[in-house]
Amino acid sequence: MPSFFQGSFGTNSTLNIFYNDTYFQYQNSTLRLKLEVPYLSVSGLPNGASLSGGSVVSRKGVSTQTHSASGIGDVWLAAHYTVLQSSGLMPAIVPFAKIKFGTASASQGLGTGRNDYEIGMGLDETIGARIFPFAHIAYRFVGNPPGNNLQNIWTYNIGSSYLVDEHNVLTGMFDGAQSEQPGYSGPADLVVAWNYNVTRAGSGFQLYFDKGLSNGSPDFGIGIGGQVVF
Protein backbone atom coordinates (compact mmCIF):
# COMPACT_ATOMS: atom_id res chain seq x y z
CA MET A 1 0.00 0.00 0.00
CA PRO A 2 2.22 2.88 -1.21
CA SER A 3 0.95 6.21 0.14
CA PHE A 4 1.93 9.88 -0.01
CA PHE A 5 1.28 12.50 2.68
CA GLN A 6 2.05 16.21 2.73
CA GLY A 7 1.72 18.69 5.58
CA SER A 8 3.48 20.52 8.41
CA PHE A 9 2.47 18.05 11.17
CA GLY A 10 2.82 20.81 13.78
CA THR A 11 6.25 22.00 12.58
CA ASN A 12 7.33 25.08 10.62
CA SER A 13 8.26 23.00 7.58
CA THR A 14 6.32 21.24 4.83
CA LEU A 15 7.01 17.51 4.97
CA ASN A 16 6.57 15.12 2.06
CA ILE A 17 6.26 11.52 3.29
CA PHE A 18 6.20 8.45 1.05
CA TYR A 19 5.03 5.48 3.13
CA ASN A 20 4.92 2.01 1.57
CA ASP A 21 3.27 -0.50 3.91
CA THR A 22 3.60 -4.21 3.09
CA TYR A 23 1.64 -6.56 5.31
CA PHE A 24 1.15 -10.29 5.83
CA GLN A 25 -2.03 -11.48 7.50
CA TYR A 26 -3.57 -14.72 8.74
CA GLN A 27 -7.27 -14.86 9.53
CA ASN A 28 -9.91 -17.42 10.50
CA SER A 29 -13.38 -17.04 12.04
CA THR A 30 -12.11 -15.67 15.36
CA LEU A 31 -8.41 -14.81 15.07
CA ARG A 32 -6.57 -12.27 12.91
CA LEU A 33 -2.79 -11.85 13.01
CA LYS A 34 -1.13 -9.05 11.03
CA LEU A 35 2.52 -8.17 10.47
CA GLU A 36 3.25 -4.79 8.84
CA VAL A 37 6.68 -3.97 7.40
CA PRO A 38 6.83 -0.37 6.09
CA TYR A 39 9.40 1.51 4.09
CA LEU A 40 9.35 5.29 4.23
CA SER A 41 11.06 8.24 2.60
CA VAL A 42 10.69 11.80 3.86
CA SER A 43 11.86 15.24 2.76
CA GLY A 44 11.58 18.51 4.68
CA LEU A 45 11.91 16.77 8.06
CA PRO A 46 13.19 19.31 10.63
CA ASN A 47 16.38 18.30 12.38
CA GLY A 48 15.41 17.01 15.83
CA ALA A 49 11.94 15.78 14.82
CA SER A 50 10.98 12.10 14.84
CA LEU A 51 8.34 10.17 12.91
CA SER A 52 6.22 7.21 13.96
CA GLY A 53 3.69 5.51 11.72
CA GLY A 54 4.09 8.17 9.05
CA SER A 55 3.40 11.10 11.40
CA VAL A 56 5.55 13.45 13.51
CA VAL A 57 5.47 12.41 17.18
CA SER A 58 8.49 14.24 18.63
CA ARG A 59 9.92 17.69 17.98
CA LYS A 60 12.78 17.70 20.51
CA GLY A 61 15.28 20.45 19.76
CA VAL A 62 13.73 21.14 16.35
CA SER A 63 15.77 23.56 14.25
CA THR A 64 14.95 25.51 11.11
CA GLN A 65 17.23 23.19 9.15
CA THR A 66 15.65 20.16 7.48
CA HIS A 67 16.89 16.95 5.93
CA SER A 68 15.72 13.99 3.85
CA ALA A 69 15.89 10.36 4.94
CA SER A 70 14.77 6.93 3.76
CA GLY A 71 14.70 3.46 5.24
CA ILE A 72 12.65 0.77 6.91
CA GLY A 73 9.96 2.06 9.24
CA ASP A 74 8.66 0.68 12.51
CA VAL A 75 7.41 -2.91 12.18
CA TRP A 76 3.97 -3.57 13.69
CA LEU A 77 2.55 -6.90 14.92
CA ALA A 78 -1.17 -7.05 15.78
CA ALA A 79 -3.54 -9.74 17.05
CA HIS A 80 -7.36 -9.43 17.01
CA TYR A 81 -9.61 -12.05 18.63
CA THR A 82 -13.41 -12.13 18.31
CA VAL A 83 -14.84 -13.08 21.71
CA LEU A 84 -18.47 -12.50 20.66
CA GLN A 85 -19.88 -12.72 17.15
CA SER A 86 -22.34 -10.11 15.90
CA SER A 87 -25.98 -11.09 16.43
CA GLY A 88 -28.97 -8.82 15.83
CA LEU A 89 -28.33 -5.47 17.51
CA MET A 90 -25.31 -6.87 19.36
CA PRO A 91 -22.03 -6.01 17.59
CA ALA A 92 -19.09 -8.35 17.44
CA ILE A 93 -16.69 -7.69 20.31
CA VAL A 94 -13.05 -7.85 19.21
CA PRO A 95 -10.27 -7.10 21.71
CA PHE A 96 -6.83 -6.60 20.20
CA ALA A 97 -3.19 -6.02 21.07
CA LYS A 98 -0.38 -4.44 19.04
CA ILE A 99 3.37 -4.08 19.32
CA LYS A 100 5.37 -1.46 17.45
CA PHE A 101 8.99 -2.55 17.19
CA GLY A 102 11.39 0.41 17.09
CA THR A 103 13.11 -0.70 13.88
CA ALA A 104 13.13 2.72 12.18
CA SER A 105 16.32 4.80 12.38
CA ALA A 106 16.17 7.18 15.35
CA SER A 107 19.31 9.02 14.21
CA GLN A 108 17.62 9.88 10.89
CA GLY A 109 14.33 10.83 12.57
CA LEU A 110 12.42 7.95 10.95
CA GLY A 111 11.37 6.64 14.37
CA THR A 112 11.89 7.01 18.11
CA GLY A 113 13.96 3.82 18.37
CA ARG A 114 11.66 2.54 21.13
CA ASN A 115 8.90 -0.06 21.19
CA ASP A 116 5.23 0.88 21.73
CA TYR A 117 2.55 -1.43 23.13
CA GLU A 118 -1.18 -1.05 22.54
CA ILE A 119 -4.33 -2.75 23.84
CA GLY A 120 -7.81 -2.00 22.62
CA MET A 121 -11.36 -3.02 21.86
CA GLY A 122 -13.26 -3.10 18.59
CA LEU A 123 -17.01 -3.21 17.93
CA ASP A 124 -18.06 -4.46 14.50
CA GLU A 125 -21.73 -4.47 13.49
CA THR A 126 -23.70 -5.68 10.47
CA ILE A 127 -26.86 -3.88 9.34
CA GLY A 128 -28.73 -5.88 6.73
CA ALA A 129 -26.42 -7.35 4.12
CA ARG A 130 -24.62 -4.20 2.97
CA ILE A 131 -23.78 -1.86 5.87
CA PHE A 132 -20.91 -2.61 8.29
CA PRO A 133 -20.37 0.04 11.02
CA PHE A 134 -17.32 -0.21 13.26
CA ALA A 135 -15.63 1.59 16.16
CA HIS A 136 -12.26 0.97 17.81
CA ILE A 137 -10.56 2.49 20.82
CA ALA A 138 -7.13 1.65 22.24
CA TYR A 139 -4.57 2.79 24.77
CA ARG A 140 -0.94 2.98 23.64
CA PHE A 141 2.03 2.70 25.99
CA VAL A 142 4.59 4.87 24.21
CA GLY A 143 8.31 4.16 24.32
CA ASN A 144 9.98 7.33 25.56
CA PRO A 145 13.59 8.06 24.52
CA PRO A 146 15.63 10.06 27.08
CA GLY A 147 14.77 13.75 27.05
CA ASN A 148 11.69 13.46 24.80
CA ASN A 149 8.91 13.52 27.44
CA LEU A 150 6.52 11.52 25.27
CA GLN A 151 3.24 10.44 26.86
CA ASN A 152 0.91 7.45 26.56
CA ILE A 153 -2.10 8.13 24.36
CA TRP A 154 -5.60 7.04 23.40
CA THR A 155 -6.26 6.17 19.75
CA TYR A 156 -9.67 5.73 18.14
CA ASN A 157 -11.60 5.43 14.90
CA ILE A 158 -15.23 5.15 13.89
CA GLY A 159 -16.84 4.63 10.52
CA SER A 160 -18.72 2.30 8.25
CA SER A 161 -18.28 0.26 5.10
CA TYR A 162 -20.96 -0.12 2.45
CA LEU A 163 -21.14 -3.09 0.10
CA VAL A 164 -22.19 -1.60 -3.23
CA ASP A 165 -22.11 -4.97 -5.00
CA GLU A 166 -20.04 -8.16 -4.94
CA HIS A 167 -16.96 -6.29 -6.19
CA ASN A 168 -17.18 -2.73 -4.81
CA VAL A 169 -16.92 -1.61 -1.18
CA LEU A 170 -16.93 2.02 0.01
CA THR A 171 -15.65 3.03 3.46
CA GLY A 172 -15.75 6.31 5.36
CA MET A 173 -13.89 6.73 8.65
CA PHE A 174 -12.83 9.30 11.23
CA ASP A 175 -9.43 8.38 12.70
CA GLY A 176 -7.72 10.18 15.57
CA ALA A 177 -5.38 10.03 18.54
CA GLN A 178 -3.94 12.13 21.32
CA SER A 179 -0.57 13.75 20.76
CA GLU A 180 2.41 11.79 22.06
CA GLN A 181 4.17 15.11 22.75
CA PRO A 182 2.41 17.42 25.25
CA GLY A 183 1.49 20.85 23.93
CA TYR A 184 0.79 19.77 20.34
CA SER A 185 -2.34 18.72 18.47
CA GLY A 186 -2.96 15.03 18.00
CA PRO A 187 -3.75 13.64 14.55
CA ALA A 188 -7.37 13.72 13.36
CA ASP A 189 -8.18 12.51 9.85
CA LEU A 190 -11.15 11.88 7.61
CA VAL A 191 -10.48 8.85 5.38
CA VAL A 192 -12.52 7.70 2.38
CA ALA A 193 -11.63 4.40 0.68
CA TRP A 194 -12.79 2.34 -2.29
CA ASN A 195 -12.08 -1.38 -2.50
CA TYR A 196 -12.52 -3.44 -5.63
CA ASN A 197 -12.57 -7.19 -4.95
CA VAL A 198 -11.50 -9.31 -7.91
CA THR A 199 -12.16 -12.65 -6.18
CA ARG A 200 -14.73 -13.80 -3.62
CA ALA A 201 -11.90 -14.48 -1.17
CA GLY A 202 -11.02 -10.77 -1.15
CA SER A 203 -8.10 -10.37 -3.53
CA GLY A 204 -8.28 -6.94 -5.11
CA PHE A 205 -7.31 -3.28 -5.03
CA GLN A 206 -7.81 -0.27 -2.76
CA LEU A 207 -7.68 3.48 -3.31
CA TYR A 208 -8.01 5.91 -0.40
CA PHE A 209 -7.89 9.64 0.35
CA ASP A 210 -6.95 11.23 3.67
CA LYS A 211 -7.90 14.76 4.70
CA GLY A 212 -6.20 16.05 7.83
CA LEU A 213 -8.47 17.88 10.27
CA SER A 214 -5.89 19.03 12.82
CA ASN A 215 -2.44 20.62 12.97
CA GLY A 216 -0.99 17.21 13.87
CA SER A 217 -2.22 15.61 10.64
CA PRO A 218 -1.11 15.89 7.01
CA ASP A 219 -2.88 18.43 4.85
CA PHE A 220 -3.77 15.52 2.59
CA GLY A 221 -2.80 11.96 1.79
CA ILE A 222 -3.47 9.44 -0.95
CA GLY A 223 -2.74 5.74 -1.22
CA ILE A 224 -3.29 2.90 -3.67
CA GLY A 225 -2.46 -0.76 -3.27
CA GLY A 226 -3.70 -4.29 -3.41
CA GLN A 227 -3.85 -7.62 -1.66
CA VAL A 228 -3.78 -11.27 -2.63
CA VAL A 229 -5.80 -13.69 -0.49
CA PHE A 230 -4.95 -17.39 -0.39
pLDDT of the residue at 148: 85
Question: Distance (Å, rounded) from C-alpha 49 to C-alpha 72?
Answer: 17
Task: Give the tens place of pLDDT for each residue, 162-221.
Answer: 999 999 999 999 999 999 999 899 999 999 999 999 998 889 999 999 999 999 999 999
Helix, strand, or coil here: 15?
strand
Q: What is the mean pLDDT of residues 88-109?
A: 95
- What is the length of the chain? 230
Q: What is the mean pLDDT of residues 149-166?
A: 96
Amino acid at 197: N
Domain count, the chain: 1
Q: How far is CA 124 from CA 70, 129, 209, in A?
A: 36, 14, 22
Range of the domain at 68: 2-227
* Cα four-point dihedral sign 126, 33, 22, 156: positive
CATH number for the domain spanning 220: value is 2.40.160.40
Q: What is the mean pLDDT of residues 72-97?
A: 95
Question: Distance (Å, rounded) from C-alpha 56 to C-alpha 83?
Answer: 34
pLDDT of the residue at 63: 73
Task: Give the tens place of pLDDT for each residue, 75-84.
Answer: 999 999 999 9
